[in-house]
Amino acid sequence: MAECKQFPMVREVPYMGVIWVVYQASLRGFVNGDPDWCNLGQGQPEVGEMAGDVPRINRIDLQPCDHAYGPVGGTLEVRQAIADMINRQYRQGKMPYGPDNISFASGGRLALTRLYTILADGCRIAYKNPDYTAYEDYLYGLRNRCMLLPIYAKPEDAFKIPAERLAEIIHQEKIDCFVFSNPCNPTGEVIRGDVLKGYVETARRENCLLGCDEFYSHFIYNEDGSPANGPVSALEFVEDVNEDPVVCFDGLTKSYRYPGWRAGWAVGPAHIIEQINRAASAVDGGPSMLTQRATLQAIKPERVAVTTQALRNEFAKKRALMLKELKDMGIYPAQAPSGTFYIWACIKDLPEPINNADDFFFACLDKKVMTVPGHFFDVRPHRVRPAVEPYRHWVRLSYGPDMATLQKGLARMKEVVERYRR
């Protein structure tokens, strides 16, 4: 989009990856809910009824107090309920989290925005590449008062950063803060077990704030592709909940399949949570009371385990289908994803020109199939693009849609590939 000279006081804000994809598709007639389109670029899971799950929540009952402003960090009731859930999942026999360790926000992006708002001038912030597209804009606002240092994940490491390498970088570069998505959007890789424990130990030892974006925490698969038994979180490896510099973000958007609710939270030391809440009073004014009332219903203990296991069971099937169909097309991931509902797919072996992610995108768009080119996940806060895009042969493909849409989209994608192979 061309710069508007009429309003020089307003900076040009670039599209995030999925928003650009939707915009381009809308120019060709796409509207949400159109059954003739297959959005394999979408960043949300299917939201309807699912086999083995409890019924979807379609109504809430409000209390008189819900009509008034609530606390900027969330009500005591919802913060306690989130803390209880976290303690059940990750803190058995360990120091528990309490309501003062929780800040509730209207969505994950807002929860993350609050964190970036409180980072001090001169803070040395490391960020991973590739990673979640929104990090670029968060960091863009900090580029003139903080030092921004990229850490490039390597294809030969399946785009993971080994614990030893992260420890070395944090120590040598005197990093103050490192925020990353885990499970990772877009690559689907998961830092878990001893590696994740190593991340937390490094943060504790170096006093480096570790920000863990864990919105896909329940989308976890075993090495053979079967659904895992439970979620992954850095919170499992925290020793002192008020001393260890670890802040984790999660919510109902992905793992509970309620993206439209805009329900997210941050979990961390009480002092950091207090600063986040102070920032919230100016940044957003606090979350919706309606969303919090609904959240209390969604995270009841009797619902959570059933919902998240049903999710893994269904998405493991869709993961297997997409991997198989992509292999038949000559498209491969760096490693079969062990988390999320994305496949970070390499298309370099496809015929020209569709071995370039942008050309692949437009070719698929002609078949009413949406994908996301890899360069959107190349986080560059200073907005200086390289002459040759490093992720030009990579695309993010989503198996978030329902099975029927996924099957139709993959069939159409196969038609695109076969046409260029003739």
pLDDT per residue as tens digits for the range 125-134 = 999 999 999 9
Residue 73's identity, in one-letter code, is: G
Cα–Cα separations (whole angstroms), residue 379 to 138, 232, 410: 10, 24, 28
pLDDT at position 2, please?
58
Q: What angle is formed at CA 210 by the lines to CA 316 and CA 288, rounded to 5 degrees? A: 70
pLDDT at position 5, please?
82
Residue 140's identity, in one-letter code, is: Y
pLDDT at position 13, please?
81
For residue 133 the two structure tokens come to 């597209």
- CA distance linking residue 266 with residue 235, whole number of Å: 11
Residue 234's identity, in one-letter code, is: A
Rg (CA), the chain: 21
Q: Which phi and psi angles does 295 have, rounded to 5°?
A: -60, -40
Question: Residue 338 CA to chain centroid, in angstroms?
Answer: 14
User: Which residue ranges of the chain lie beneath pLDDT 50?
Assistant: none
pLDDT at position 71, please?
97
What is the length of the chain? 422
For residue 335 the two structure tokens come to 């490693």
Q: What is the DSSP letter of 217?
A: T
Is 362 in contact with 324 (CB distance < 8 Å)? Answer: no
Closest CA to 255 of 277, 235, 227, 276: 227
What is the number of helices (H) and of strands (E) in the chain?
11, 13
pLDDT at position 246, please?
98
Residue 363's identity, in one-letter code, is: A
pLDDT at position 18, please?
86
Q: How many CB atoms lie within 10 A of CB 129?
A: 17
Q: What is the DSSP letter of 221?
A: B
- CA distance linking residue 88 with residue 284, whole number of Å: 30
Rounded (10°) angle between helices 301-329 and 76-90:
60
pLDDT at position 16, please?
79
Is 238 in contact with 272 (CB distance < 8 Å)? Answer: no
Residue 186's identity, in one-letter code, is: P
Pairing of strands 177-181, 124-129: parallel
Cα–Cα separations (whole angstroms), residue 253 to 30, 77, 87, 109: 23, 20, 20, 11
- CA distance linking residue 131 with residue 109, whole number of Å: 14
pLDDT at position 12, please?
81
- CA distance linking residue 243 with residue 209, whole number of Å: 11
Residues 6+ apart with CB under 8 A from 311: 45, 50, 53, 218, 219, 255, 257
User: How many CA atoms does the CB half-sphere of 225 hold within 13 Å?
Assistant: 14
